[in-house]
Amino acid sequence: MFISPLLLATTVFSRWSNISQATFVPSDPDLVDGFFSSSGHTNNWAVLVDTSRFWFNYRHIANTLSMYRTVKRLGIPDSNIILMLADDIACNARNPVPATVYNSNKRILDLYGDNIEVDYRGYDVNVENFVRLLTGRVEDHVPRSKRLLTDDRSNILVFMTGHGGDEFLKFQDNEELQAQDIADAFGQMYEKNRYHEILFMIDTCQASSMFSKIYSPNILSAASSRTGEPSYSHHADHEIGVAVIDRFTYYNLETLEFLKPNDQETIFGTYDYQKMHSHPTFGTHLFKRPLDKAYVTDFFGSVQSVELTQTGYSLRTIESSTTNPKPVESHSPIDTNSQSQMVLKLNRVKEIVLLNEIQLNFWIGCLIFASIILISLF
C-alpha cells in the first residue's frame, strides 16, 4: 500500500505537536501551593510618589523616602523602583542639615544618604507623566530606568502621599489627579496585562475617596483616612520647623521596619485609630485572594526565583478529543544527595532533548521536501 509522504509528514508533525504541548501537572496540589510565591507572582515593582513641593511639605517627601528605604531593604532593587519627588527638600536653603532628610526629630537615620536614585524630580512629577508611567504610554526618548516594565506576573506597590480632598490628589498645587483617572489607569494596566496584583496605598486627607472608582480586579487598597476625614502628621522637628512624617506612614513603618524578606505578616493587622487619629480604610472587594494570605512582603519585598523540591511532577498531554488527559510519563523523586550531580543530570537531559528536537525537525523537513518533489512530479 502506498502512503503519501505528505500524509506521513503531517502525521508525524501532529504527534510532535501533542508532545510539545505537554504540561506538568503536580501529583499533589498542596506541594506546589506557593511554589514561586504566596501570591503566584514572579517579580515585584514599586511606584513611590510624593506630589507636594515647598518646604512646609517636608513630611510628604519623608513619607516617600521612608517607603523607598523599606522596599530596598526588603529586596526590591532600584531597577524595579520608580521614585517620584516633587521637590528637592534635601538641598533646600532652609534645611539646617544640608543634603539630608529625616523622618524623626531624633535624626537617627538619613533617608537621603548616598544611595538614592530619583527617577522623576521637580516639575517632571505631574499627572500626565504619572498616568503615562502606569499605562506604559511613555514617549520614545524616555529611558528604561523611567519606565514601569511590568508584566502579568508582576506585583506592584503604588504609594502616594500629598494633599488631597474628595476624589482628588493635588500635584504641586498646580493640577489634580482625579479618582477616575487612577481607576482608568489601572483599567488600562489590566487590559494590557501589566500587573498580577496591585497594592494601592495613599496617605492624604480623605484618602479612601481615591480608590472609590477603581473597578479592575486583583487590586488591594489602603488609605489613611475616610472620605470627609483629615489625615494627620505625627510629630515635628522644632529646629527644622516643620512636621517630619505623617501618622499613617509612621505606624506602617513600625511594622515594616521589623520585617524580614520571608516573613508572613498580613497587611491589615496593625492599624489603630487611637494612634492615627483617623480611620484607615481598605478596599478589598476587588482582591481575589483571602486577606489572611495577603502578606506584606508580597508587595514590599522581592520574590525568590528558585526553590528546590523533593519530588517531581507528572507529565500529561493535552488531548483535543477528551477532557481527561492520560499520564504519559511520571518522574521519580529527585535525587538531592548532591546538588552538583543534579545540575549535571539536568544539563544532560537538556542536551538529549535538544538533540532529539534537532533530529526530529531534520527528518520532518526531509519528509516535507520529499512530498513537495513527489507532488510536483505527479
- Enzyme catalytic residues: 163, 205
- Between CA 281 and CA 191 the distance in angstroms is 27
| CB of 268 closer than 8 Å to CB of 135 | no
Cell of residue 205, nine digits: 486627607
Q: Which helix (DSSP H) or strand (DSSP E) does residue 281 occupy?
A: strand 281-283
* Contact criterion met (CB below 8 Å) for 244 and 186: no
Are the C-beta atoms of residues 90 and 50 closer than 8 Å to each other?
Answer: no
Determine the Cα–Cα distance for residues 217 and 201; give it in Å rounded to an integer.
16
Q: For CA atoms 133, 136, 138, 144, give the dihedral sign.
A: positive
Tell me the pairing of strands 164-165 and 168-171: antiparallel
For the chain, state the CA radius of gyration: 27
Residue type at 201 in one-letter notation:
M
Handedness of CA 52, 57, 62, 63 (dihedral sign): negative
Grouping H, G, I as helix, E, B as strand and the rest as coil, residue 337 is: coil
Contact 151, 160 (CB under 8 A): no
Helices and strands in the chain, H and E counts: 8, 15
90 DSSP 8-state letter = G
Q: Which residue has the cell 476587588?
A: 286
| CA 273, 277, 279, 280 torsion-angle sign | negative
